Chain A
Amino acid sequence: MHRTNDILDTVRMLQQENLDLRTVTLGINLLDCAGRSMAAVTKAVRATVAAKAGNLIRICDQLTTKYGLAIINKRIAVSPASQLLEGHTPKAALELAQALDEAASEVGVDLIGGFTALVHKGMTPGERLLIESLPQVLSRTKRLCASVNIGTTKAGMNVDAILLVSETILKIAEATRHEHGFGCAKLVVFANAAEDNPFMAGAFLGPGEPDCVINIGVSGPGVVKRAIERLVEQNPACTLDEIAEEIKHTAFRVTRTGELIGREVAEKLGVRFGVLDLSLAPTPRVGDSVGEIYQAMGVKVLGAPGTTAAVALLNDAVKKGGAFASSAVGGLSGAFLPVMEDHALAQAVAEGTLTLEKLEAMTAVCSVGLDMILVPGDIDRATLSGIIMDEAAIGIYGNKTAAVRIIPAIGHKAGERIDFGGLFGSGTVMSVKRASGNAEFVRRGGHIPAPIQSLGN
């Protein structure tokens, strides 16, 4: 017999506080599709995706009915597509991208990730081909997401790759200027990319992963926010350690809903269950915002001194609660700061309290990085490279994942507002201070050696 209050607490989390499962992501290994004929490769890719993911939507819908818990996104992450491009031409890269895009459409998923190159130590011809194809690929596909890993704590930072990626980002922005550079929202530049990350746009099935695996991204910013608000209502003088404790307990419950669904989806699909990513992923909806959590803690103006400490407190408490809830925690597992996808963060940027520099500081203590950042369309390659290098340094030297998803809004200046719609949200073009002062440093290129902490053996 269940306690009535426990039941009603769970129902309230679902119905009033936006608890849902943000993503069920099916990882699929496509390496056995490799071949010299791209026609044969794309045929094999379509067949593999259809065979492995054909029942994904139906099973997720069944479990939504069973538990009354919404599964917002059903997605696919494939093994790095660059491995299928070795020895191929730019035309073949586009054919592969379109095959993946269509395969995703055929099985009914909204996004497919894994148009990926892992170039942290060096770059193969297939990886270069993939990166150089991105302007054409991301402007001519709808569901395909791309990522490039440019550094790791073990390997250091590939600055040559960053220069190439920065140039590519500017070309993607130009190729999708009619959508305000939306193509760039489908590309994540990583340092220490997670092989089992279920969240888009950066999901791919990394080295060492099973042939086919279910990874889960939980959600629940609204649940955490309301838990803090209730605590503060009951005890306005509550201390930060009491808030941390409340977040921990709430994260425990949120995490367990994810594992429950994930294990059942995997079992019904007949594949391995992989990990639960604890990241609190916001949406543009009011009541589903990570920024609102900091406000509930008492940081009423996001970006004010203390904001970074609030991020650290939240990130740590979520991990502690989630780690006790499940032994299958993985992926990115921290607090996201996707500026355009979180209405409170977006508003703080619009009001000028949250700057690029402050966001960068905040990313030092959370899971991802500079995520969904709009910058002026006239930003130059050196400045863009410098932003990526700074964020990568936080990841590489902090031994954590760091990422940049940045959108040069061609034809727009700082302060102008852009709306992508849907989960991608809307935002304000941020100003980049002291731009163009780094060119000599960045253009040297080469490789920043791995930090001393890489010598851990």
Chain B
Amino acid sequence: MEQRYVISVLIADRVGILSAITAAVTDLGANIVGISQTVEQGYFTVIMIVAFAQPVGPEAIRHAILNRFDQDEASVLVRPFQAQRQAPGTGDRYVLTMAGRDRPGILKALTGYLAGKKINIEDLFFRIVGDKVTHVGEVTVPAQLDLKQTQDELRAVMAPFALVVNLQHENLFRATNEVGAIRHLLRQTNHA
């Protein structure tokens, strides 16, 4: 029976990291079925889902990866994959943008509000230039929420930080940055 694991690796970035990790799991007999990798301020992180046809233990996977790096160079976490027991609420995807002066507490206030409203954060990024910060997030807004009320509440929560806050449906960004027909885009989100 197929065994699936979720693997997370944190390491100072350099050339060849992903090659070493994928070689380690592939040589153990894994098929990589999902991967997301990013580099933030010189630190490489990857999360990947792997599937084994034959039984392999999590410690064996962890050691196979660590053996590809110098001692203490990488942090590796391996856990059995579990299907989501509580799926995030269904709804449309929105893009959240916030811009202004960077101050402590912005993310705590933001994520606290979103969690309270059952708004799932699927991607979050921010960039600091000087003392200015720009946050960009992709979130799923539950269908039962009143959008206007949610936008107003979000702006009120973030008002102490004097940020310009926007919550806009992702189709706007797909429309302006993709080349596919608009009618197809709308069909994908059940609007047409």
A and B interact: yes
Chain A positions within 8 Å of B, measured between CB atoms, are 1-4, 6-11, 13, 15, 65-69, 253, 256-257, 259-260, 263-264, 267, 326-327
Using CB atoms, name the residue of chain A closest to B178.
A256
Q: Let me know if B87 is at the binding interface, CB within 8 A.
A: no
**When the two chains form their complex, are residues B168 and A67 in contact, meaning their CB atoms are under 8 A apart?**
yes
- Given A15-B164, A263-B186, CB of A8 within 8 Å of CB of B169: no
A10 to B148, CA, bound (A): 21
A260 to B167, CA, bound (A): 17
The interface centre, meaning the residue of A7, A15, A259 with most chain B CB atoms within 10 A of its CB, is A7
A257 to B174, CA, bound (A): 10
What are the residues of chain B within 8 A of A6 when measuring CB–CB?
173, 176-177
Q: Let me know if B175 is at the binding interface, CB within 8 A.
A: yes
Which one of A1, A11, A68, A260 contacts B175 once the chains associate, using CB atoms below 8 Å? A260
- Given A4-B127, A8-B136, A326-B182, CB of A67 within 8 Å of CB of B169: yes
**When the two chains form their complex, are residues A259 and B175 in contact, meaning their CB atoms are under 8 A apart?**
yes
**When the two chains form their complex, are residues B170 and A2 in contact, meaning their CB atoms are under 8 A apart?**
yes
A66 to B192, CA, bound (A): 16
**When the two chains form their complex, are residues A68 and B177 in contact, meaning their CB atoms are under 8 A apart?**
no
The interface centre, meaning the residue of B134, B151, B183, B185 with most chain A CB atoms within 10 A of its CB, is B183
**When the two chains form their complex, are residues B177 and A2 in contact, meaning their CB atoms are under 8 A apart?**
yes
**When the two chains form their complex, are residues A264 and B177 in contact, meaning their CB atoms are under 8 A apart?**
no
What are the residues of chain B within 8 A of A264 when measuring CB–CB?
186, 191
Name the distance in Å between B4's Cβ and chain A's nearest Cβ. 22
**When the two chains form their complex, are residues A2 and B95 in contact, meaning their CB atoms are under 8 A apart?**
yes
**When the two chains form their complex, are residues B134 and A8 in contact, meaning their CB atoms are under 8 A apart?**
yes
Using CB atoms, name the residue of chain A closest to B123.
A1
Name the distance in Å between A215's Cβ and chain B's nearest Cβ. 15
Q: Let me know if B147 is at the binding interface, CB within 8 A.
A: yes
Q: Let me know if B97 is at the binding interface, CB within 8 A.
A: yes
Q: Let me know if B171 is at the binding interface, CB within 8 A.
A: yes
A256 to B136, CA, bound (A): 22
**When the two chains form their complex, are residues A257 and B127 in contact, meaning their CB atoms are under 8 A apart?**
no
Q: Which of B136-151 contact A (CB under 8 A)?
A: 136, 138, 147-148, 151
Contact digits for B155-169, partner A, Cβ 8 Å, 1 yes 0 no? 000000000101111
**When the two chains form their complex, are residues A257 and B192 in contact, meaning their CB atoms are under 8 A apart?**
no
Chain B positions within 8 Å of A, measured between CB atoms, are 95, 97, 123, 125, 127, 134, 136, 138, 147-148, 151, 164, 166-177, 181-183, 185-186, 191-192
**When the two chains form their complex, are residues B138 and A257 in contact, meaning their CB atoms are under 8 A apart?**
no
**When the two chains form their complex, are residues A4 and B125 in contact, meaning their CB atoms are under 8 A apart?**
yes
Name the distance in Å between B34's Cβ and chain A's nearest Cβ. 14
- The 7 residue pairs across chains A and B that have the minimum distance between CB atoms: A68-B168, A6-B177, A256-B175, A260-B175, A253-B176, A259-B182, A67-B172
Which one of A9, A66, A260 contacts B182 once the chains associate, using CB atoms below 8 Å? A260
A86 to B192, CA, bound (A): 40
Name the distance in Å between A446's Cβ and chain B's nearest Cβ. 48
**When the two chains form their complex, are residues B177 and A3 in contact, meaning their CB atoms are under 8 A apart?**
yes
- Given A65-B147, A257-B172, CB of A10 within 8 Å of CB of B164: no
**When the two chains form their complex, are residues B138 and A2 in contact, meaning their CB atoms are under 8 A apart?**
yes
Which one of B123, B166, B176 contacts A256 once the chains associate, using CB atoms below 8 Å? B176
What are the residues of chain B within 8 A of A65 when measuring CB–CB?
147-148, 151
What are the residues of chain B within 8 A of A260 when measuring CB–CB?
171-172, 175, 182, 185-186
What are the residues of chain B within 8 A of A8 when measuring CB–CB?
97, 134, 136
What are the residues of chain B within 8 A of A327 when measuring CB–CB?
181
What are the residues of chain B within 8 A of A11 when measuring CB–CB?
97, 166, 168
What are the residues of chain A within 8 A of B148 when measuring CB–CB?
65
A10 to B177, CA, bound (A): 8
What are the residues of chain A within 8 A of B134 when measuring CB–CB?
8
What are the residues of chain A within 8 A of B172 when measuring CB–CB?
10, 67-69, 257, 260
A-B residue pairs in contact (CB < 8 Å), sample of 19:
A1-B138, A2-B170, A2-B177, A3-B177, A6-B173, A7-B173, A9-B177, A10-B176, A10-B177, A11-B166, A15-B166, A66-B168, A67-B172, A68-B167, A69-B168, A259-B175, A260-B171, A263-B183, A327-B181
A67 to B181, CA, bound (A): 18
Using CB atoms, name the residue of chain B closest to A1.
B123
What are the residues of chain B within 8 A of A68 when measuring CB–CB?
166-168, 172
The interface centre, meaning the residue of A15, A65, A253, A264 with most chain B CB atoms within 10 A of its CB, is A65
